[in-house]
Amino acid sequence: ITMLADGNGYRRDTAQRLLAERLFTEHSEEVAALLTSTVQSPATSETRLRAFGILAGMQRLPEELHLQTLRDSDPVVRNWAVRAAGDLPQLSQPIVDLVSQLRSDEHPAVRLQSAITAARQPQLPAIPILVSVLAQSQDDPLTPRIVWQNLHPLLEKQTAEFVAEVERVGAGKTGFPAAVLELLPRTADRLLSAPQPNTAAITQLLTLL
């Protein structure tokens, strides 16, 4: 555990590997408890993240600890907690609710990770999260690109939901965010090229354009 913070990269990596391996030995529960307490400790972000990564990677992340890290004061920890949710085979409702809320996190990296995770997890409301994260991106060339990569595979089957979400965002006091407006022509092009386009939803979208 101490070597997770060692100044030597080889020692850090070896410690991480050995701890992961020991989760499959007779010391499994002891190691899991040590890793959990490390994640909850005031240690450095790197040490906490390595301990968290071992538990998440070995599918030994307790739900209560996962919920704690989603609420963590460190945005790097929150980011990794959201990322871990994308790798789980099943999400509990509390985790679904927290990841959904983090679309409005104060840190842009956490918001962006919530969009990526939402596109991977069918239990999460992907379209609302993606549009919300896009709407909050200002003078940020990366977020619109990543949102588009995760959004366009969903558009053909969720056209109506996307258009409704765009209308909802545009109905706010400040009108349509620039990042949303800039994506609409590309979205319309993608939808019009679908084998069976949702003509009613596309009509709404063209009206917005």
Residue 17: closest CA among 46, 45, 58 = 58
Mean of pLDDT over the chain: 92
Tokens encoding 40: 């909850």
Q: At what angle do helices 199-208 and 159-170 cross, to 10 degrees?
A: 20
What is the C-alpha separation between 54 and 1, in angstroms, rounded? 11
> How distant, in Å, are the alpha carbons of 81, 131, 143, 147, 200 from that of 164?
29, 11, 21, 17, 12
Q: Is the pLDDT of residue 108 over 80?
A: yes
pTM of the full structure: 0.88
Name the burial class of residue 162, with classes exposed (0-12), middle (13-18) and buried (19+) by CB atoms within 10 angstroms of its CB. Answer: buried
Average pLDDT over residues 142-157: 93
Q: Is the pLDDT of residue 9 over 80?
A: yes
pLDDT digits (tens, 9 = 90+) for 51-99: 999 999 998 999 999 999 999 999 999 999 999 999 998 999 999 999 9
CA gyration radius for the chain?
20
Pick from 123-127, 161-165, 175-179: least confident? 175-179
Q: What is the residue whose two structure tokens read 């390595």?
A: 50
Average pLDDT over residues 202-208: 85
Average pLDDT over residues 190-207: 86
